[in-house]
Amino acid sequence: MSRIHLLSPRLANQIAAGEVVERPASVAKELLENSLDSGARRIDVEVEQGGVKLLKVRDDGGGIAPDDLPLALARHATSKIRELEDLEAVLSMGFRGEALASISSVSRLTLTSRTADAEQAWQVETEGRDMQPRVQPAAHPVGTSVEVRDLFFNTPARRKFLRAEKTEFDHLQEVIKRLALARFDVGFHLRHNGKSVLSLHEAGDEISRARRVAAVCGPAFLEQALPIEIERGGLRLWGWVGLPTFSRSQADLQYFYVNGRMVRDKLVAHAVRQAYRDVLFNGRHPTFVLFLEIDPSTVDVNVHPTKHEVRFRDSRMVHDFLYGTLHRALADVRPEDQVAAPAAVMPMVRPSGLAAGEFGPQGEMGLAASVLETPLASPQPAWRGAGAGYQQPAGNPGVPAAEAQAAYRDYFAPLPGAQAPALPQEQGDVPPLGYALAQLKGVYILAENAQGMVLVDMHAAHERITYERLKQAMASEGLRGQPLLVPESIALSQREADCAEEHAEWFQRLGFELQRLGEESLAIRQIPALLKQAEATQLVRDVLADLLEYGTSDRIQAHLNELLATMACHGAVRANRRLTLPEMNALLRDMEQTERSGQCNHGRPTWTQLGMDDLDKLFLRGR
């Protein structure tokens, strides 16, 4: 091996540039963050050829003193921290003092700046081949301009890894959009090859902020988003979360900020994913623009060269706060919230059920475990329906009509002292989901509300209602079992039979009573009373399959809701069962009272609204 020697400053900067400067978008991020730290209220970005030929960032911030200009291009030179204590509570976007030095080592950089008390501006130039800065007078208003030309001109190997011009520009534009969402008080303007691409003016009020969110994320997101705001024990979360029906195939519309800094954190992603677990369709990703404000001393932002990641001192508290807040916010969405007004003008949602100063399941700062682990009971409707139960059409094979009526008698029986729901002509105020008109093909319920027509998936809606009631029953008193007059035997593999025996206590909590008959057989002696019309054998097989997939019993609690969802799916009303109008109206009223009734257990929508404007467009009325 050769002898140890010091690297030259130019080579050291170029190596550091490999960590900070990946593409033009990386340069834009560093320059824009410097502009924000300088107190700028307007930032103009001019780009040519995707940022490779030219990337110019101009701001109206505080500027840089003439004597500090050469130092601004030196490594580890910064005005943002002086001691370690400053780093532990840093609020500025940048603090390492490496960005400008790294950028100048792989480009031709010109920095022009003027402070408010200076008579004129000064300019400093440097190139990758010649690291000695040249300072000279210049003409410039108060603020700073940084011009980066010919990126990677002296490192052709790095330039070969750049993509097409459009791809590089898309990445650069995405960086600007992220920062525009972080700082509503700053105007952002982008030009590419002489054409204006983005013009986001300063957003000082709530309506202006909503417009900026719509401009960055698209108007469809804002129409399907739920504003949220909650503050507990030093943590504040606010922003917009997309409704489960507005999910995407990719995680490309997810913006999360910690003290104004855009981060991609595994802990945050896990908390959000858990909050959406009950309502999101398989393989889909939620959408959100969320801002977390927390004591800077409890966050370590110095864990990644590009500052994309952070580390929380009490990660469990942050995780449970995020999960509990979003979980309750999504549960509190009711049909009236979706049919009344668009999300852009919806009031901020402050999730209920959180005690002041409590977040996590452990410790003094912990949210009560019952809030996080079990759903809060939604208000029970005063009327559960009229009639004996769901009727099966004559001639349709399956469960006899009499048994079907008995199976659902508890569900449809009115509560003591309850009155039958008023008919449309008897009641002035129309409920959010309106009143049932008819049943379509034994699958959908057609209803009329104040806005127009409502279509309801009968099975999906009843599946969600049954699921939420199973969860409430499990949380309060466990599931009541219904003994079978004639026990059913079931043939299984030895592995499945062992699993059933191992988790006998959990099956008991679910309302089952299983008896081992042999190495590969079981007897089902009792099933949950709410699901006594379900196919018991298949139900046990499904539950065993879930248990084998999820592992030992200490993992079952985390997936208990999924087991209940499987049970609810078996117990929900099937297609082609004819309902009377009172029964259909009872289902609509229960949907209005049930948490997360907008989606079934699998994340599919349970109902949709066709307003009069939508119907008029279909028939070209008013044209």
Is the CB of residue 534 less than 8 Å from the CB of residue 466? no
* Amino acid of residue 345: V
Answer with the residue of higher pLDDT: 616 or 482.
Answer: 616
Query: 3-class DSSP state for residue 488?
Result: strand
| pLDDT for res 273 | 86
How do residues 426-455 score in pLDDT, each as one tens digit?
445 789 999 999 999 889 999 999 999 999
* Reported confidence tier of residue 114, pLDDT bands at 50, 70, 90: very high
Helix-strand-coil split of the chain, %, nearest 5:
40, 20, 40
Residue 377: pLDDT band by 50, 70, 90 thresholds? very low
Chain-wide mean pLDDT for the chain? 78
pLDDT given at position 93 = 60
Examine the pLDDT at 508 and tell me if it is beyond 90.
Answer: no
- Residue 488, judged by CB atoms within 10 A of its CB (0-12, 13-18, 19+), counts as middle
In 394-535, where does DSSP find H-type helix?
401-407, 409-412, 458-476, 494-502, 504-509
Q: Which of 331-340, 359-368, 570-579 has the lowest mean pLDDT?
A: 359-368
Q: What is the pTM assigned to this prediction? A: 0.70
**Which pLDDT band, with edges at 50, 70 and 90, does 306 fall under?**
low
The confidence band for 539, taking pLDDT boundaries of 50, 70 and 90, is: confident
pLDDT at 406: 41
pLDDT band at 80 (very low <50, low <70, confident <90, very high): low
Q: How many whole angstroms separate alpha carbon 571 and alpha carbon 85? A: 60
Predicted pLDDT of residue 47:
96
**Rounded Cα–Cα distance for residues 506 and 166 (Å):** 56
Decide if pLDDT at 220 tops 80: yes
User: Is the per-residue pLDDT at 368 higher than 60?
Assistant: no
Position 379: which residue type? P
pLDDT of residue 420: 43
Could you tell me the pLDDT band of residue 189, with boundaries at 50, 70 and 90? Answer: very high
Examine the pLDDT at 321 and tell me if it is beyond 70: yes
Binning pLDDT at 50, 70 and 90, where does residue 556 land? Answer: very low
Most confident of 73-87, 319-333, 405-419: 319-333
Q: What are the Cα distances from residue 603, in Å, to 245, 428, 460? A: 8, 34, 10
Q: Give me the count of residues in the chain.
A: 623
- Output the pLDDT for position 236: 94
Q: What is the pLDDT of residue 265?
A: 81
**In order of start, what are the domains of the chain with their CATH numbers?**
9-198 (3.30.565.10), 206-373 (3.30.230.10), 377-623 (3.30.1370.100)
pLDDT confidence bin for 291, thresholds 50/70/90: very high
Give me the percent of the chain exceeding a pLDDT of 70: 74
For residue 3, how far is the Cα from the chain centroid? 53
pLDDT given for residue 554 in this prediction? 35
Burial of 250 per CB tally in 10 Å (0-12, 13-18, 19+): exposed
Confidence of residue 135 (pLDDT cuts 50, 70, 90): confident
Q: Distance (Å, rounded) from C-alpha 214 to C-alpha 209? A: 9
534 Cβ contact list (under 8 Å, min separation 6): 527, 567, 570, 571
Q: Given pLDDT bands bounded at 50, 70 and 90, which one contains residue 10? A: low
**Higher local confidence (pLDDT), 562 or 317:** 317
pLDDT at 330 over 60: yes
Per-residue pLDDT, averaged over 367-389, amounts to 31
Whether pLDDT at 84 is above 80: no
Q: Are 96 and 16 in contact (CB under 8 A)?
A: no
Half-sphere exposure (Cβ direction) of 254: Cα atoms closer than 13 Å: 18
CB under 8 Å to 250, separation ≥6 — which residues? 285
